[in-house]
Amino acid sequence: MNNQTRAQNGESADDSDSDFTNEQLTGNIHKIAIVPPNYTGKPKKGHLIFDACFECGNLGRVDYISDFEYDLFIRPDTCNARFRIWFNFTVENVKQEQRVVFNVVNFSKSKSLYREGMSPLRVVFNVVNFSKSKSLYREGMSPLVKSTSRPKWQRIPAKNVFYYRCPEHKRNYVMSFVFCFDVEDDVYQFAYSFPYSYTKLQNYLQILDNRSLDYYDRELLALSVQQRRLDLVTICDPELKNTSEKKRKLVIITARVHPGETPSSYVCQGLIEFLVSPHPIAKVLRENVIFKIIPMLNPDGVFLGNYRCSLMGFDLNRVWQDPSPWAHPELFAAKAQVLSLDKDPSMDLDFFIDIHAHSTMMNGFMYGNIYEDPNRYERQAIFPKLLCSNADDFSMSNTSFNRDAVKAGTGRRTLGGSLDENCNCYTLEVSFFSYQPAGFNHPIPYTEEEYMKLGRNLARTFLDFYKLQNYIVFNPSAAIMPKLNNSAGFSSYRSNNTLTNGNGNNPLLGNNLNNSTNGKKRSPTTMSQQPLKPISSSSMSNHNGNSSSSMSNGSQNSNAATNENKPKFFIDNSLE
């Protein structure tokens, strides 16, 4: 299949390098106990029970390899077998100190993690049907885990994650991670990235609805194929909304067209949360600019636990040129709304930004278009440079401008050629894994709060842009500007009845917003937050008797300095 055909099918050229496309995995597993062959009777403790039959869940099959090793198969996107990246599942009925290795064999991890010298209680999980060979697992990315008694997501240490070609799976890339269960009564949840469900968004927007803010409005733009809401959020001062004395500046933001790219939702929530806050910068932005935000373009795909496609198997970010009202109702409504606002004589549409997450690169960065007009081409470079000056996780070196043929159906490319020439169209990408600020010699893993901070800095950059255009005159005190750089400072501008309680906790995230500073977590303060325990990879050897360090586990040393300062999840001191 050539690149052009792949693009028409909703693929990019690098999205189709696995030959696991003939697997008949059409649904998620539901409370399945994985027992040894020929075993009969009720599952015993240690016979793991897997479940992915919940919102955003994804796990299509589990194969028993041995008492301590399991092959996991990601369920492909509905009606499109080529995309297998996202996973999200739970494990229960564990035995205390039970050690396992999971091999995700159709994505990026393999059952070949069987090691000589592993005790029968050690378990291997292999993901074997990943659909991409390029992966941040090479850079030290690792899956996320939480449990009933420890509800805050943490990354499995990179030294316990291995990414390599597996001979037993046609040399496809496999991701294996080693894990130790330490609380028998806990239910453990594993995910590719921080989940952000359709229900979570609806709950968040309902909180904002209940505040009855005069500068916030939420409307139903359309219904998805499965009758889920496509919300349009408008944030601006009522006087600006109703004025007819001058043309009003307009910014349109969209997110989550690809359902597995959950970081985009956290960035978008951070943007919204800042714009509705009493922060002085937010206030002046509301008084001068209208923000129209579609926070979830693919609600069905999100709900179903797809990675890239909608319910019907379409990559919605490849159909912007000609969306169908019945097959792509979300894109059909979104495009109609954008074009209508662009033609409104009372509006100046200055920005269209579509927020995504990237699976192979670090940092935040942007994609822009190449135009024949050199002035327009140069003008669109301004905003990324301003964002780079505000956000230490944004990279100008990764930012690029192109007219790649396989991206022709994206929102950025399509609207870049359809909207007024003064409109800047971008894709904002943020890494699934980490960012590396200038002067750091190791990457800093993203957290939910770090993603939201990028959203706040995105909002701050709009002020800088309009100041540069002499549209807004605003000279805040020096004490105001740095406060966006850390969540502790920003939280002082939140209303008491918004998203934080008296302890600074976000009830939707379930974590303390002041718990992360410059990528370094503080030590847990309660027993329920105490970290769990990973297995030391140094205690394992491969089939050939070599140390497991010979396998590509991404970055065994790159995160060493960072991990030493973080509460580690499932540290097993007896194996260190």
CB 75, CB 100: distance < 8 Å: no
Q: What is the DSSP letter of 566?
A: S
Q: What is the DSSP letter of 84?
A: -
Concatenated DSSP letters of 174-223: EEEEEEEE--TTPPEEEESS----HHHHHHHHHHHHHTT-TTEEEEEEEE
Q: Please, which contacts does 226-230 make with residues 24 or more away whose CB atoms are closer than 8 Å?
A: 226/299, 226/300, 226/303, 226/311, 228/198, 228/299, 228/300, 228/303, 229/202, 229/299, 230/294, 230/296, 230/297, 230/299, 230/329, 230/330, 230/333, 230/334
Q: Name the residue with tokens 């049907």.
A: 129
Q: Where are the beta strands (DSSP E) in 295-374?
A: 347-358, 364-369
Instruction: Say how far apart CA 112 and CA 69 lie, in whole Å.
Output: 9
Q: Name the residue with tokens 């301004």.
A: 382
3-state secondary structure of 290: strand
The contacts of residue 425 (CB under 8 Å, 6+ apart) are: 351, 352, 353, 368, 369, 380, 411, 412, 413, 415, 416, 419
Query: Helix 411-418 vs helix 329-343: angle between axes, to the nearest 10 degrees?
Result: 30
CB 513, CB 489: distance < 8 Å: no
User: Strands 188-191 and 88-92: what pairing?
Assistant: antiparallel
CB 306, CB 259: distance < 8 Å: yes
What are residue 216's DSSP bridge partners? 235
CB 177, CB 69: distance < 8 Å: no
CA-CA-CA-CA torsion sign (81, 85, 86, 87): positive
Q: Name the residue with tokens 């822009």.
A: 368
**Catalytic residue selected from 92, 429, 449, 450:** 429
Alpha helices in 373-517 (DSSP H): 374-379, 382-390, 411-418, 448-468, 487-491
Establish whether 287 is a catalytic residue: no
- Secondary structure element (H or E) that encloses residue 273, with its range: helix 263-275
Instruction: Say how far apart CA 327 and CA 309 lie, in whole Å.
Output: 12
Instruction: Say how far apart CA 251 and CA 267 lie, in whole Å.
Output: 16
CB 16, CB 84: distance < 8 Å: no
Q: Which of left, alpha, beta for 570 (phi over 0: left; psi -120 to 50: alpha)?
A: left
Closest CA to 533 of 576, 568, 561: 568
Q: What is the DSSP letter of 380?
A: T
What are residue 435's DSSP bridge partners? 444
3-state secondary structure labels for all residues of 219-263 = EEEEECCCCCEEEEEEECCHHHHHCCCCCEEEEEEEECCCCCCCH
CB 31, CB 102: distance < 8 Å: no
Catalytic residues: 429
